[in-house]
């Protein structure tokens, strides 16, 4: 019987560089199972989750074309913990189920499960090994401003909704401190790729 593919849980705070690192692993031929991508597919119009979200939060979260206004929904859930938990209850069981189903079909030595809220949603047991993408908090804030163009108040709400940097580092098997150049980042990813491929 084939040995199951090792499941590497990739996580990190907002704007830490998770997508960049996932893309570098993908360039090495590593299968990537991304919770955010699955979440988007689950919230397309006419899906069960989409209907439940509209039922829960009202039509005010829809755009003129009938699709989710993700920015508006994000503003609601990041300013209200109870509302965020309501959304998580709708989405996370299905996301988890789909991720595990996809991982079960993979035949390579390992795969990456990119789960931004790995700790917050108690999904640590889904993975065999945890890789945390980390960066200093000031750099994180600057990247959020550069990328999202949102207010400092919204930034703090998002950061407050996520677990602390210390908590992420405490559960990490491996850490990439992403305050380096892309070439240095590639080198770190390649080293981990060689290590994970041996297991």
Q: How many residues does the chain have?
A: 199
Residue ranges of domains in the chain, CATH in brackets: 6-198 (3.40.50.300)
Does residue 1 surpass a pLDDT of 50? no
- The residue ranking higher by pLDDT, 148 or 176, is 176
The answer for 80, left when phi > 0, alpha when psi is -120 to 50, beta otherwise, is: beta
CA distance linking residue 195 with residue 199, whole number of Å: 7
Residue owning tokens 């109870």: 82
- The rounded mean pLDDT for the chain is 92
Give, as one character, the DSSP assignment of residue 77: H
DSSP E strands in the chain: the ranges are 6-12, 32-34, 110-114, 129-134, 174-177
Q: Which residues of 133-171 are buried (b: 16+ CB within 10 A; e: fewer)?
A: bbbeeeebbebbeeeeebeeeebebbbebbeebeebeee
Neighbours of 18 (CB within 10 A): 24
Give, as one character, the DSSP assignment of residue 59: G
At 2 the pLDDT is: 65
Residue owning tokens 């989405």: 91
At 165 the pLDDT is: 92
The neighbouring-strand residues paired with 110 are 6
CA distance linking residue 6 with residue 127, whole number of Å: 8
Lowest pLDDT segment from 7-16, 146-155, 157-166: 146-155
CA distance linking residue 190 with residue 122, whole number of Å: 29
At 199 the pLDDT is: 65
Does residue 7 surpass a pLDDT of 90? yes
Residue owning tokens 């439940």: 52
Residue owning tokens 């006419």: 46
Tokens of 163: 């677990």
Does residue 26 surpass a pLDDT of 50? yes
Does residue 131 surpass a pLDDT of 70? yes
CA distance linking residue 152 with residue 135, whole number of Å: 18
Instruction: Report pLDDT digits (tens) over 44-63.
Output: 998 999 999 999 999 999 99
């Amino acid at each position: 019987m084939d040995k199951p593919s090792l499941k590497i849980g990739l996580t990190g705070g907002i704007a830490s560089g998770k997508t960049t690192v996932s893309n570098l692993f993908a360039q090495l031929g590593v299968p990537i199972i991304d919770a955010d991508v699955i979440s988007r597919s689950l919230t397309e119009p006419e899906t069960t989750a989409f209907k439940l979200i509209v039922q829960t939060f009202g039509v005010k979260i829809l755009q003129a074309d009938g699709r989710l206004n993700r920015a508006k929904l994000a503003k609601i859930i990041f300013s209200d913990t109870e509302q965020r938990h309501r959304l998580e209850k709708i989405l996370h069981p299905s996301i988890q189920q789909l991720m595990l189903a996809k991982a079960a079909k993979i035949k390579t030595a390992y795969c990456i499960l990119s789960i931004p809220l790995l700790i917050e949603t108690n999904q640590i047991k889904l993975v065999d090994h945890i890789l945390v993408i980390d960066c200093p908090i000031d750099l994180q804030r600057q990247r959020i401003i550069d990328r999202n163009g949102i207010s400092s108040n919204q930034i703090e709400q998002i950061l407050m909704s996520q677990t602390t940097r210390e908590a992420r580092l405490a559960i990490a098997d491996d850490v990439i401190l992403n305050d380096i150049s892309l070439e240095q980042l590639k080198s770190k990813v390649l080293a981990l790729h060689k290590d994970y491929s041996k297991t």
